[in-house]
Amino acid sequence: MNQKQFYHICAKGTDACNFILCTGDYYAAFNLIGVCAANFRAIVVSFSIEDSHPHILLWGTYDDCLTFMLMFENLYRHHAAATRSGDTELYLHCELYPIGDDEDYLRNVAVYTIIQPTKDGKPVMYYDYLWGTGSMYFRNRFHTPVWLFDEAGVIHQPERFADQDAAAKRTLLHSRMLTIPDDWLVCNGFILPVNYIDVPRFENIYQTHNRFRVWTSSPKKREEEMNLRMAEYRGVSFEDLEARKICGDICKQLYGTRDPRRLSGTQRIAVAQQLRHQFRLTFRQLSTLVRLPETEIRVHVR
């Protein structure tokens, strides 16, 4: 549990709803990744923000990466609640996928987190995309970051966060609870990723410019393999009635009662573990069935 490894944060795009509605949402999602990086121990290696969901590659322990993911979700939900009116419903439920020891799978996932805008049909190359870190890797020291250009193409100089006035700080942070270090650089409304992205760790995944170039081609077969692994880890959702019956059967088999509410916390975890092992139910559905917080289910159930 405490061993550090790579984790991929993303959400199932077909289940997403109203993640990004305007440019302000892009800024909020982008900068909140920086806010989380400043306040939690997980290391951000790469990311891109898409219309329907984010993709983030982290390095750290499971607990640290889970905390990062849950706080990002929570902070973004607060942003949406504060800036949207009417019945515009936000659905944002990310998953945390362990990468494991398969180096080819890691290379596939890492590049997947940055090529999304181009792959999804946006008229932009990933290395010119404002809302991701694809422009940061395998570049020379004379490269000008894309976030320094304004809409007219004029280059602006970064400034220290400490030198911003109170209103500018609030606009950058999108959070009343958390802040970032005074010496972090900001520009054109961005908390610059140079403050926190672990570029060497990303580049070490590929080691050479040419290997990185090859993997950015992302053939369909590799993408299908990655999506299959993600689906296997995510699990499946049963119809509610069927899921409750299955849960009751497991409770009865293990503890002599069909009602999980009569079980202790440890016993509920054991039921959830059995349901996950035997039926591959999603963490969310397990949480509902055994009446424990999803965060606890994710920590104790694999």
- Residue 209 dihedral angles phi and psi, to the nearest 5°: -60, -40
Q: What are the DSSP calls for 174-231, one per residue?
A: --SS----TT-EEETTEE-GGGT--HHHHHHHH-SHHHHHHHTT--HHHHHHHHHHHH
Rama region for 114: left / alpha / beta (φ>0; ψ in -120 to 50; rest) = alpha
State the DSSP code for 185: E
Residue 15 pLDDT greater than 80, yes or no: no
- pLDDT, position 16: 64
pLDDT digits (tens, 9 = 90+) for 59-87: 999 999 999 999 999 999 999 989 988 76
Q: What are the tokens at 123? A: 């008229």
Q: Is the CB of residue 260 less than 8 Å from the CB of residue 247? A: yes
Packing angle, helices 283-290 and 265-279, rounded to 10: 140
Q: If pLDDT is split at 50, 70 and 90, which confidence band does 231 have?
A: confident
| pLDDT tens, position by position, 184-208 | 999 999 999 999 999 999 999 999 9
- For 94-127, how does the pLDDT look when each residue is reduced to its tens digit (9 = 90+)? 889 999 899 999 999 999 999 988 888 889 999 9
Question: How do residues 145-183 score in pLDDT, each as one tens digit?
Answer: 999 999 999 999 999 999 999 999 999 999 988 999 999
| Sequence-distant (≥ 6) Cβ neighbours of residue 233 within 8 angstroms | 95, 97, 98
State residue 281's pLDDT score.
Answer: 87
Which tens digit of pLDDT belongs to each residue from 17-37?
789 999 999 999 999 999 999
Do residues 112 and 216 lie in contact, with contact meaning Cβ atoms separated by under 8 Å?
Answer: no
pTM here is: 0.83
Bridge partner list, 187: 190
